[in-house]
Chain A
Amino acid sequence: GAVVSQHPSWVICKSGTSVKIECRSLDFQATTMFWYRQFPKQSLMLMATSNEGSKATYEQGVEKDKFLINHASLTLSTLTVTSAHPEDSSFYICSAGTGEQFFGPGTRLTVL
């Protein structure tokens, strides 16, 4: 199957700082990528749909000014958590694909 990578896999930051997470499709082009958040022992919740060359579409309740998404190329989408707070600590996962969705390995964010 197709490969999706994420970087970093794990990050710890201080409250108030910003963190950027990268999602790359390694062997295919993706005009659309999805960003999910997963809290411990809970399922994946869709945060936003990242569209190459246009604005992201955010799910209800997700602050677009806090979670900045940039999809500048067909193989890269970035999620920036701005002014992170402890409640933003979670597992962030991206996916890409047409029909079948392939997931990245996830990024564990811990905000102190």
Chain B
Amino acid sequence: QKEVEQDPGPLSVPEGAIVSLNCTYSNSAFQYFMWYRQYSRKGPELLMYTYSSGNKEDGRFTAQVDKSSKYISLFIRDSQPSDSATYLCAMTKSGANNLFFGTGTRLTVIP
């Protein structure tokens, strides 16, 4: 079993839709959670960084962490064609810097 599981998609939605991306993990040692966006042939770009259970909002993006269920989510409101990319969840343990990634979900927002 992988330590971080993420549905690879692909996921296609119409412009303006709400997108929900999810990851589950098995290791309770993970304390810090991130969402990255990666455009084709580019390096990942950090979108959200959280370390506690609950919600964190930044513009159209909301990151949600449920440590009791070992489940994290990223919500994108009013999705735009420019949001089309691969979204990677990542997490790390306390005191460590190396990241454990999900497989990534490929999102396409159709105009």
Contacts and interface: CB of A to CB of B under 8 A. Distances in A.
B80 to A, nearest CB: 21
B99 A101 contact: yes
B69 interface: no
Contacts, number: 55
Given A1-B46, A103-B43, A108-B41, A43 B88 contact: yes
B32 interface: yes
A91 interface: yes
Size band of the A side of the interface? 20 to 34
Interface string B45-83: 110010000000000000000000000000000000000
Contacts of B6: 43
Interface of B: 6, 8, 32, 34, 36, 41-46, 49, 88, 90, 97-99, 101-104, 106
Interface in A18-72: 32, 34, 41-46, 49
B88 A101 contact: no
Given A34-B98, A42-B103, 18 more contacts: A43-B6, A43-B88, A43-B101, A43-B103, A43-B104, A44-B101, A45-B101, A46-B98, A49-B98, A91-B41, A95-B99, A99-B49, A99-B97, A101-B34, A103-B43, A104-B43, A106-B42, A108-B41
